[in-house]
Structure 1
């Protein structure tokens, strides 16, 4: 077999590497590499006016007078081609105030939507109710719109209230109330009403009053109260300018506005808040071993600032006292501690238990407390004796309580264990006569 010599010369290793590096990937002529959709959106220009013009083209096809169905149909159609989420702020500006806004709340130009909340009513079309119903149906279709509405747009637009006249503020307030009630939009936007420039000149107060009227036309004041607690609006007093931020001005305003239920509700809320503060304050002062005189002085200062009925204050003092009882001890020890505590701290009670109503209320507070904690059942007559001997309650108060003033909780038991005391007091009264 003949051998043919290999005459080819092997290429240097370096040349192989450079050839592979220089290799070009094959491509088809005339084919363009497309950007991913998400990347295209991220790098796209932000053009609110272009979006506005495109949306107005859709809305211009709504017949006159508009209907909820026709408005929803055009907005859903627009959502198929326009980026509603990216331009949600501009979308809501058009649907609420009719045009694009500049920073500060002024209109950008004179282009207006054919349908929006603040427009004048037309025959067969209520812009407030119509737009709320439209928004409800559109957001059922595009659920991602609710979050920017309640977290961004509504809090911001309420910061611009001073830009609108009273008629516009009233319409906006009605719309927000209906959105909260019917569309389950968060009420957190109401916290914007306490900003200084909104509180100024009663702007926020005017809005809230209109909001409350619209809300209470469909729901109870208790339901409104629950909504306000969730809103972050801690106290409606914050809606009033600081120079008139007091109970009298609050009551006068809502009575004149025809909202007496708000006055009653606010009174209860304010009383409950004062109650919690008072009970906690008494518990803290007792824990710090402050003297009776120091505690009385502080309670007098509180009464001067936030006066409450003597019967309420007496009940709160009692609740503050019993909070310091050590219930980890045996029943007999806890009972002895309570009796000793009342004996030592009786001057605090005596300083504020003014009038027969407060005295009977104090006995009932003791009754309810002993009924709720059965370990203190036996202590009831002894506690009443201590309160009588320290001039916290009178014989007439005890007799009245025994005859017709006792609470229903364990009534027969407490009447029975105090029979001897009541008989003694009645005989004493007869001897004096």
Structure 2
């Protein structure tokens, strides 16, 4: 009787057990072991406090730096960055909601009452918890560079959300620390965006924090530098730190003037005006391109002026810029002069409505002069534009004569004065005849 052989089991089949070595433990890589280890925030805090407990009294920056560098050699600072910064800034661990987890405190931290360190240091000065800790962090982060990113991207934006739970004096201290970290350590100012959250804005918490921040910042840098920091932070409008019910441009200006920061108020006014200018110019260009009737465009401008008043000198300048942006420059070079005159003639009522008074009229003439000097295609067109503005009652004869005698801008001044000599002479003779 024939016997059919059983086919061999394929290699790797589940039926075949893999060989094992009894009693051998596979070692895990050190990095993998750390990554999978259970978080122990309180254990890290306790170990860190043991290092800080060795800082002498009164503390010094050098002693603090030495102890933190020593702690970094044995503790996982990056893994427990949140607990590290809570100890150094707040003094202890926080639980969700912002209250302290327990009574354990660091011997030195940013929000520490100054009276706790009233003894002078070796240099003869009392240790300042704010400036001392900022200098300490600066030196420590020069050694452990990996700590800066979690500080500026995670810790500070989150911790600023707890400002309403702190006392005013603590907020002021933290504002000072954040300003110094940005100016002297070079951290990103994006944490300031937290100040626009509704619960932080309430009760002027954000506004007062920003005020203390600005005072410290301006003690180290100028207003232009601070303005650049505001833009880099994403905080495009500092009015967002004012409670909704009182939020206005005037409220912002009055607040900073009252706080002894007129340069902030002036900077804000300028920024707000620039924003208004961009919006107005864009709206006029859009309406002209959509071929909306001139009277409808003027009605919208007057409505906007009633809601948010803008000086007439600015209005005529902005309207002029909008007219230039909306002009069709595709015409042949020899036809641009006539096309521009027609364009200004059509939309002159927009200028006439806001050219109220000699100052606004001279401002308008100068705006035309500077533009014609900048765009050489209009160098020869200037007297024709000026004539249209005069005929359409946008500018008076007295404004033109004043501009010609002593009000012209230096941009191509002699060229434009010579081109308008005949017109000015005519206006002067006309005035003489009327007298």
Map of 2:35 onto structure 1: 42
SS in 2 for 1:226: helix
Map of 2:26 onto structure 1: 33
Whether the 8 Å contact between 1:325 and 1:334 is mirrored in structure 2 is no
Summarize the alignment of residues 45-124 of structure 1 with structure 2, pairs less than 5 Å apart: 45-121=38-114, 122=117, 123=119, 124=126
Q: Output the CA distance in 2 between the equivalents of 1:214 and 1:22.
A: 71
Q: 1:372 aligns with which of 371, 374, 397?
A: 374
Q: Output the CA distance in 2 between the equivalents of 1:417 and 1:251.
A: 44
Map of 1:417 onto structure 2: 419
Q: Output the CA distance in 2 between the equivalents of 1:16 and 1:331.
A: 87
Q: Output the CA distance in 2 between the equivalents of 1:291 and 1:209.
A: 46
Map of 1:395 onto structure 2: 397
SS in 1 for 2:74: coil
The Cα of 1:330 is off from its aligned counterpart by 2.0
Q: Output the CA distance in 1 between the equivalents of 2:321 and 2:337.
A: 16
Map of 2:192 onto structure 1: 190
The Cα of 1:408 is off from its aligned counterpart by 0.4
Q: 1:321 aligns with which of 302, 318, 323?
A: 323
The Cα of 1:336 is off from its aligned counterpart by 1.7
1:63-116 Cα shifts (integer Å, max 9, x gaps): 111111111111111111111111100100000000000111110011001111
Question: Aligned in 2, Cα 1:249/1:13: closer, same or farther, shift over 3 Å?
Answer: closer
Question: Aligned in 2, Cα 1:327/1:65: closer, same or farther, shift over 3 Å?
Answer: same
Q: Output the CA distance in 2 between the equivalents of 1:294 and 1:15.
A: 90
Instruction: Report which stretch shifted further, 90-99 or 323-332.
Output: 323-332
The Cα of 1:317 is off from its aligned counterpart by 0.5
1:374-424 Cα shifts (integer Å, max 9, x gaps): 111111111111111111110001100000000101101100010000010
The Cα of 1:14 is off from its aligned counterpart by 4.2
Q: 2:361 aligns with which of 337, 359, 362?
A: 359
The Cα of 1:292 is off from its aligned counterpart by 1.4
Q: Output the CA distance in 1 between the equivalents of 2:397 and 2:170.
A: 64
Map of 1:241 onto structure 2: 243
Map of 2:428 onto structure 1: 426
Q: Output the CA distance in 2 between the equivalents of 1:246 and 1:44.
A: 52
Summarize the alignment of residues 3-402 of structure 1 with structure 2, pairs less than 5 Å apart: 14=8, 24=19, 32-121=25-114, 122=117, 123=119, 124-402=126-404
Give the TM-score, by structure 1 length.
Answer: 0.94
The Cα of 1:52 is off from its aligned counterpart by 0.6
Structure whose CA Rg is larger = 1
The Cα of 1:37 is off from its aligned counterpart by 1.1
SS in 1 for 2:353: helix
Question: Aligned in 2, Cα 1:173/1:15: closer, same or farther, shift over 3 Å?
Answer: closer
Give the TM-score, by structure 2 length.
Answer: 0.93
The Cα of 1:322 is off from its aligned counterpart by 0.9
Q: Output the CA distance in 2 between the equivalents of 1:149 and 1:206.
A: 23
The Cα of 1:222 is off from its aligned counterpart by 1.0
Map of 1:6 onto structure 2: none
Instruction: Report which stretch shifted further, 269-278 or 180-189.
Output: 269-278
Q: Output the CA distance in 2 between the equivalents of 1:432 and 1:105.
A: 79
User: How many pairs align?
Assistant: 421
Q: Output the CA distance in 2 between the equivalents of 1:238 and 1:270.
A: 13
